[in-house]
Structure 1
Amino acid sequence: MVIGYWLAMQDLFTSKVWEKAGFLMTALTILTTVIAGTFLLFHSVTGFVLAMIKKNEKWLWKGLHLMTISQLLYRIRGNARTLTVIAVLSATTVTAGGAVYGLYYNANDQVMTADPNTFMYQQTDEKIDQQVSAVLPDTMYDKNIVALSVPFNTKELNTASAFDSSEKRIYTVIDEKTYNELAEVQGKEALLVNDDNAVILDIGYDKRFSPKYKDKTIKTENSKEITFQSYKTQTVLNAGTAGITVVVSNDQFKALQTEGEHLNYRVIGMDQASTDLSEKIAKQIPEEALFSSAPKDFQTSIEGVGSLLFIGSFLGLVFLAATGSIIYFKVLTEAEEDKSQYNMLHKMGVNAKEMRKSIASQVFVIFFVPLAVGLLHSAIALKAFSGLLMMDLAKPVLIWMIAYTVIYGLYYILTVASYNRIITQNNKTEG
């Protein structure tokens, strides 16, 4: 299991192990080692732990502990394969469901990162602005901003990225004043840009692939140099309209006005906006204006992930029902075999409360040890998945795990109740 976990936690894109062994071979190795390790855990390690507990004589001779431990030792080793299947099914269900729910849960944050303004488009005609204003309700802010589209020589940036060998890129450039005006209405921190320096706003920044911007220099076609003092993974302009944005000092912005194309953008912020309003605005704007809409992008994102969430939830319930049913029928089969033992204890004067306590303890271990192992497997898998997507999945995954455990716990309660009913009825019948 440790070998499988270690391989799973290696970065898919930068790990030498994944590179040398190949994706398919490494994935199969992870699967094989984790399943084999899970089987050994139930067959040997759990038995060893129970055997060590059995040596505690002071605890062992209290109540029915001796019987409980002895039966667990026999059953866990005998049911190692079944428990392995349950753990793997639980891990598969929680991993698939948690990953999809994590994407769904973070959909709004992803859209807000890419579209900090509710609407944004490039202004091409004053008449279009009037038509848009005619369909707009009250807004939080409605600003016209000036930007530049400047081609830069970015050869120095390419040393850190093997995925982009182009030496020229076009960035949208705004001045510090514009950035701070938008940052204020969007609830972001103000920015101070030094002379001849810049801050790049790259929402897609990934330290594995993106250039190491800090202290790197880019040049305009006329050899004007700009050095990045830092970078930010948030932006104040909608990425779908403006792309990657560079913030320069107010004086530097004036100096760059002869280097690129002048752009006029209209940015609109609203408390609430519908896709219907987005469609009305889109009808007033030509395609070349690069209109971007946060409500529309959110709807598209939810529609894409929502279908996956439905499929994942449905399959999760199927696997959960299968997992719970396997243990349910397995335990009740064993209850039929244990009737004579509990009837003997009944005749010896052991009260029903002690027997119920012993039954609940045995069933609890059979139910929740494989669940705990399955949740551990899924936690490692989802940790690797979140690292791959550079996304925080901790909260949605925890919610999914709790929901799964609660439903799984209902099977446990049902199984214990059925087990007790079988034993109680037999004791009444046999006397």
Structure 2
Amino acid sequence: MFLISVVSLGYAYHAVITDINDMYMNDLYKWIVVGCVATVLFFWSVSGMLFRIVSSMKNVYYKGLNSFVVRQMSSRVNTNVLSISVICLMLFVTICVLSSALAVKNSLNEGIAKYARADVSISKTQSSDSIYYDEDEMGNDSETNDLLKKLEVTDGKSIEDVYSENNVDLGSYFSDYVDVHTYTCPALTIRNYLGDEALIDSLGIDVNALSSYEGTEEIISQSDYNKVAKIYDNAELQLADDEYAILANYRIFVKIRDERLQEGKEIEVYGNKLKPVISYCIDGDIELATQPLNTGVFIVPDSAIEGAQFAKEYFIGKYANQDRDVIQDSDTIIRNVSKKDELGGLITVNTKDNVKAASVGVGAIASFIGMYIGLIFLISGAAILALKELSESTDNIERYKMLRKLGVDQHMINKALFSQMGLFFVFPLALAIVHSVFGMMVSTKILDTMEAYDIAGAIGITAAIVVIIYGGYFLITYLCSRKIISE
């Protein structure tokens, strides 16, 4: 039974980490059930295995009170198989949920400090060149046609023009601002640059869905990028006439793009052939954000896009007046004007206060759920074990009296009590930690989509919480049990 449980767990672990990229929820549920059943079988059989292994080691089994400790442990585990199994699974959920929640919270907090360095970013789409749509999938209904007509409008108005028409002098609100443009080129598409193999292997894209990556890449000139870098307090970039770089921070895409840059992949922008200036992506984004969501913007020499029609405009600024009430009033005015845009919402406004509020809200929800579920499960599991141990100590008073009559001193009795209680607390925690190693592999894959990368720090905090609470229950239980048997 022990071997069956170990093999079942190993097979479930292997299936989870092997199929982690394209696992369907039905498969995940199946392996969770296998893991739960194997956990019960493990604790059902481990006491017999422990007794058999230790009893065969004569030097260990007959040393001190080890024979008494092993038999006591074997008996306790046998009579508490289901409860120990449930506690093990509760501890597993505690570690995974708490670590994931803390990782999300830490990531959002870091994102605010790293990517929200201006007060406002406004973007305006000028044309549909960068928008890919499949006519067969979208159909030909009137609503779709109206939408596509709106997207194809090029009104020639700048962001400041739109605000001026609404009697708002946009520039007067800011002490420092930039107005930059991005472009597209029909020859430079996401699929062409990344390659089908990378999209399928690294992103897990289905072969039939490759056509959705025919959209053009976003391009910005070196001079405009340097303006953005300056207002965000980042390093500026210098390019030769035949060089390019990529600005990105969405890790999954950054990994693939870094591979292409290391290969020295050349691109063609309006007849100009360009090679990479560096072999890695520059970390950052154009718009305000709290999470790294930029899949990639190509930075090219000004001469490469000279005379081209820009596809998108960005206005980024820092308020002149940093008073809290003034900032809120300014945010309201800027957002209200964007809602009146005649192009039907092609102006998008992101403010630092908005992205902070969204991040704090998501972080608070994640932290609350993680802490609530994690701490409730952790305290419940530890409390159940503590009550069982205290009950067992009361029932075993006569056994300890018999040990004293046989000449065992109190120090050896205390040592034996500590050992058997330690094993009883460690058994479910040890297997829960093993479960968590593979569980966190799945969690990490999910967290990657949320750009939560500080897994190590979150696991460290979770480990500290488990040690303090679970270890505290163990220590208190041991001291109380020692007092019970000594009396």
User: TM-score normalised by the shorter chain: which range applies?
Assistant: 0.7 to 0.9
5 Å-filtered alignment, 1:195-344, equals: 195-204=241-250, 206-207=252-253, 214=261, 223-224=270-271, 229=276, 232=281, 234-238=283-287, 244-253=296-305, 255=306, 257-260=307-310, 263=313, 265-268=315-318, 277=327, 280-284=330-334, 286-287=337-338, 290-344=348-402
Residues 193 and 274 of structure 1, relative CA distance in 2, 3 Å threshold: farther
Deviation at 1:324, TM superposition (A): 1.7
Give SS of 1:173's match: strand
> Does the CA contact (< 8 Å) of 2:171 and 2:177 recur in 1?
no
Deviation at 1:192, TM superposition (A): 4.9
CA offset digits 1:172-207 (Å, max 9, x no partner): 533334435654675655545453443232333525
Residues 208 and 283 of structure 1, relative CA distance in 2, 3 Å threshold: closer
> Does the CA contact (< 8 Å) of 1:158 and 1:167 recur in 2?
no
> Does the CA contact (< 8 Å) of 1:98 and 1:400 recur in 2?
yes
CA offset digits 1:379-422 (Å, max 9, x no partner): 32122211233242121122113202310111112221222222
Distance 2:438 2:325 in 1: 38
> Does the CA contact (< 8 Å) of 1:217 and 1:228 recur in 2?
yes
One-letter amino acid of the structure 2 residue matched with residue 53 of structure 1: V
Residues 367 and 168 of structure 1, relative CA distance in 2, 3 Å threshold: closer
> Once structures 1 and 2 are overlaid, which stretch shifts more, 36-45 or 336-345?
36-45
Instruction: Report what 1:406 is aligned to.
Output: 468
Deviation at 1:93, TM superposition (A): 2.0
CA offset digits 1:95-125 (Å, max 9, x no partner): 2222122111111234456545443335515
> Once structures 1 and 2 are overlaid, which stretch shifts more, 76-85 or 399-408?
76-85
Deviation at 1:363, TM superposition (A): 0.7
CA offset digits 1:60-118 (Å, max 9, x no partner): 44432221122123322333322211111111122222212211111123445654544
Instruction: Report what 2:169 is aligned to.
Output: 128
Distance 2:112 2:29 in 1: 35
Give SS of 2:398's match: helix
Distance 2:212 2:267 in 1: 13
Deviation at 1:374, TM superposition (A): 1.1
> Does the CA contact (< 8 Å) of 2:91 and 2:377 recur in 1?
yes
> Does the CA contact (< 8 Å) of 1:90 and 1:374 recur in 2?
yes
Distance 1:273 1:233 in 2: 33
CA offset digits 1:338-363 (Å, max 9, x no partner): 11110112233322222121111111
Distance 1:274 1:10 in 2: 51
Residues 62 and 338 of structure 1, relative CA distance in 2, 3 Å threshold: same
One-letter amino acid of the structure 1 residue matched with residue 25 of structure 2: F
Distance 2:195 2:28 in 1: 31
One-letter amino acid of the structure 1 residue matched with residue 271 of structure 2: K
One-letter amino acid of the structure 1 residue matched with residue 221 of structure 2: D
Residues 243 and 143 of structure 1, relative CA distance in 2, 3 Å threshold: farther
> Once structures 1 and 2 are overlaid, which stretch shifts more, 90-99 or 357-366?
90-99
> Does the CA contact (< 8 Å) of 1:195 and 1:251 recur in 2?
yes
Deviation at 1:233, TM superposition (A): 6.4
Unaligned runs of 5+ in 2: 1-8, 124-158, 200-204, 342-346
- The answer as to 2:120 corresponding to 1:119 is yes
Q: Identity of paired residues, percent?
A: 19
> Once structures 1 and 2 are overlaid, which stretch shifts more, 187-196 or 74-83?
187-196
One-letter amino acid of the structure 2 residue matched with residue 224 of structure 1: G
> Does the CA contact (< 8 Å) of 1:156 and 1:218 recur in 2?
no
Distance 2:324 2:211 in 1: 41
Distance 2:244 2:105 in 1: 35
RMSD: 3.6
TM-score w.r.t. the length of structure 2 is 0.71
